[in-house]
Amino acid sequence: MITRRKFNVGLLTTAFLSGLAPKVLYANSREDWDNLPIPPVQKNESTKKGYVKYTINVQKGFTEFFEGVRVPTLGYNGNILGPTLRAKKGDIVEIVVNNKLDEETTVHWHGIIVPGEMDGGPHQRILPGKQWTAKFIVDQQAATVWYHPHGIGTTASQVYWGLGGLFILDDEVSENLNIPNEYGIDDIPIIIQDKRFLNDGRLVYLTSMRDIMFGMLGNTVLVNGAIEPKKTVPRGIVRFRLLNASNARSYLLKFDKQIPIFLIATDGGFIEKPIEINKIFLSPGERIEILADFSSINEGDIVSLEDGNYKFLKFKIGKKGKNYEIPPRLANFNKITKDESFKTRDFVLSGLGHMVNINGKQFDINRIDEIVEIGTTEIWRVSANMGMHRMMINNNGRNYVIHNFHAHGVLFQVLSRNGKPPALHERGWKDTIALRDGDTVELIMKFKKKGIFMYHCHILEHEDNGMMGQFLVKEDKSKGDLV
């Protein structure tokens, strides 16, 4: 039965969402456990050491979210979402993408630092029936990143209908830590999305002007493409790789039982030392890794992951797991200092709906907004200022996440938020950061790859409506041929 649910719409703000009216069984509502879909790891097509090759088909499909109701969806090599890709630091990666849709698409490697021509942004269009090959070397630390479409005006709809998948980067550090590493058993991917269903079980998109203004918010949370799934986990330490793949919704997650939880990685990989936390905040596009210790929970007991009081993922505690540890140290973290900065730039995110903009401008693929020298370090001061639109968000509260900021081609560190040191969970390597109205964050980053890259709001309806700019990384500041 689909009932009335409540879940978080911002950093601290909770809102009621109407559930579906009829008594319909979920397609995955069997009483047995372990119906949480685990995205399969894609098989490497290459036999050469240090060379990874994948083929991805972007295709239409059908998914049965509710028993007896099949709805159209999109997927990579399947009906919805995509396989998990893996590569190791130093690997050469080749990915062949076949577009089997009847509209153009792209595939962006969100969080992977690659040259601009391999980034999979709006300049790497794949027309219907055509193919594109990305080839790059992995030269960053272990991290949980992801891939998704990034066209002009089509990103939000294609992600909403199902396109997205995890990409796990490994290195020697990650392989030598005594932390859970059995994928799908004690190292569990969690892709969180929200969707809007009608009373008859149909999936719908953009049904009101509010969806365009604030971004698409659903009435049901999916995990790995399933509604309220369940999984048995070992009684011990379990690793969760969490991705917020929602179009616009932010989550404040916690377990409904008191258990030790340790943050071990942010967008760009491991932090220096584990940080004990009790709640997990994720805005769209952000990822974190946590270690949850279920040792104190009795075998057979149930622990739920919830947002507000919406318990959307249940775990049954199984038999004792392997003897992992909470490491005292995870990885070296080289902090970038302010005095390394070559330049400071300002980016102001404003507006709602069709009036969104960055620094008063909307996206133009024929315009380069910023020019950056390769190898330099800069501070980007990013703020959200709603101005005349402030009255429209007052009912959501001061803590409502109205925009967030993602930069391609770089990882950054957060120097400050509103003039103060960043929260503990924002002190690792990042590529996406949340902004409430009036917030200002200082981000410091070093540019290591040449090419044209995007920066934008990762509330996808805002991105599609023009809340995006381009920066060119090149040898010098002379303008030259930009596009």
Reported as a single tens digit per residue, the pLDDT across 450-465 is 999 999 999 999 999 9
The CA distance from 381 to 347, in Å, is 6
State which of 320, 350, 369 marks the end of a domain.
320
pLDDT digits (tens, 9 = 90+) for 152-165: 999 999 999 999 99
pLDDT at 396 over 70: no
* Residues 442 and 414 placed together within one structural domain of the fold: yes
Residue 384 belongs to domain spanning = 338-474
Residue 300 has a pLDDT of: 96
Residue 387 has a pLDDT of: 64
The CA distance from 83 to 167, in Å, is 9
Residue 10 has a pLDDT of: 34
CA dihedral of 226, 227, 232, 238, whole degrees rounded to 10: 80
Amino acid at 397: G
At which residue do the structure tokens 């939000």 appear?
156
* Residues 313 and 393 placed together within one structural domain of the fold: no
pLDDT at 25 over 60: no
What is the pLDDT averaged over residues 244-272?
Answer: 97
Q: Which of 30-39, 46-55, 397-406, 450-459 has the lowest mean pLDDT?
A: 397-406
CB 275 within 8 A of CB 425: yes
Residue 478 has a pLDDT of: 54
- 8-state DSSP, 173: H
Q: How confident is the model at residue 33 (pLDDT cuts 50, 70, 90)?
A: confident
Residue 424 has a pLDDT of: 84
Any domain includes 355: yes
Strand order in the sheet with 357-358: 357-358, 343-350, 377-384, 440-446, 412-417
pLDDT at 392 over 70: no
pLDDT digits (tens, 9 = 90+) for 399-421: 467 899 999 999 999 999 999 99
Q: How confident is the model at residue 17 (pLDDT cuts 50, 70, 90)?
A: very low
Task: Name the nearest CA neighbour of 247 among 213, 214, 220, 284.
Answer: 284
At which residue do the structure tokens 């775990």 appear?
315
Number of domains in the chain: 2
What is the pLDDT averaged over residues 242-261?
Answer: 97
Cβ within 8 Å of residue 11, ≥6 positions away: 250, 252, 281, 399, 400, 401, 434, 436
State which of 291, 320, 349 marks the end of a domain.
320
Residue 15 has a pLDDT of: 34
pLDDT digits (tens, 9 = 90+) for 259-277: 999 999 999 999 999 999 9
- 8-state DSSP, 42: P
* Residues 461 and 343 placed together within one structural domain of the fold: yes
Cα–Cα–Cα angle for 360, 443, 177, rounded to 5 degrees: 140
pLDDT at 16 over 70: no
The CA distance from 215 to 460, in Å, is 7
Residue 400 has a pLDDT of: 60
Q: What is the pTM of this model?
A: 0.92
Any domain includes 171: no
* Residues 236 and 276 placed together within one structural domain of the fold: yes
pLDDT at 41 over 60: yes
Any domain includes 223: yes
Residue 2 has a pLDDT of: 27
Any domain includes 127: no
* Residues 302 and 405 placed together within one structural domain of the fold: no
Q: Is 174 exposed, middle or buried (0-12, 13-18, 19+ CB in 10 A)?
A: buried
